[in-house]
Amino acid sequence: MSKKNGTGKQQSALLSQAEISKLLETIPSNLRGYIDSLQNQISNMSAIGLALSKEKDMDKLLEMILLEAKRISNADGGTLYMMTDDQRLKFSIMITDSLNIHMGGTSGKEIPFYPVKLYMDDGKPNKTMIAANAGLTGYTINIPDAYKAKGYDFAGTKAFDDKTGYGQNHF
């Protein structure tokens, strides 16, 4: 990529051949790691797809899905809710690695939290918890820091954090 200037001399390229070769050497290892990660995700998703048709234990199946979602998103915790007939989100599975929490699902441990109301007693939408907001809208909510987020009331989330000592901030 050298050019000749008006005097017939070559100008130096932005990167030397040695620098380019060194950069090219790193691509295979980085690419290999990325490909391995994608293959692992495909394998795990295939296992879940197979389990969808074969697994009879709903708790085991849902837990498998939650664990894979945690792994893909590199999340410390994950909670799966089930909609009740009275428009509440019942905690079905709750896993938080750093707090060593595994309740519901296949754990055999009951989840001691009341279901999350989607609507308050006055009929207004419940905006006190992230799960209620997502359940009401049907949309994914991505919040980098719940303690700095505007437009939402995370009183329920903060109460959980105060009770458990956890510091939820990314959702």
Q: 1-53: per-residue pLDDT in tens?
A: 444 445 444 555 577 878 877 877 777 777 777 777 777 878 877 877 777 77
pTM: 0.67
91 DSSP 8-state letter: E
Q: Encode pLDDT of 73-116 as tens digits.
A: 888 999 999 999 999 999 999 999 998 999 999 999 999 988 99
35: which residues sit within 8 A by CB, 6+ positions away? none
* 51 within 8 A of 61, measured Cβ to Cβ: yes
pLDDT of residue 2: 43
β-pairing verdict for 116-117 and 101-104: unpaired
80: which residues sit within 8 A by CB, 6+ positions away? 62, 63, 65, 66, 91, 92, 93, 94, 104, 105
Q: Encode pLDDT of 131-157 as tens digits.
A: 888 899 998 888 888 778 777 777 777
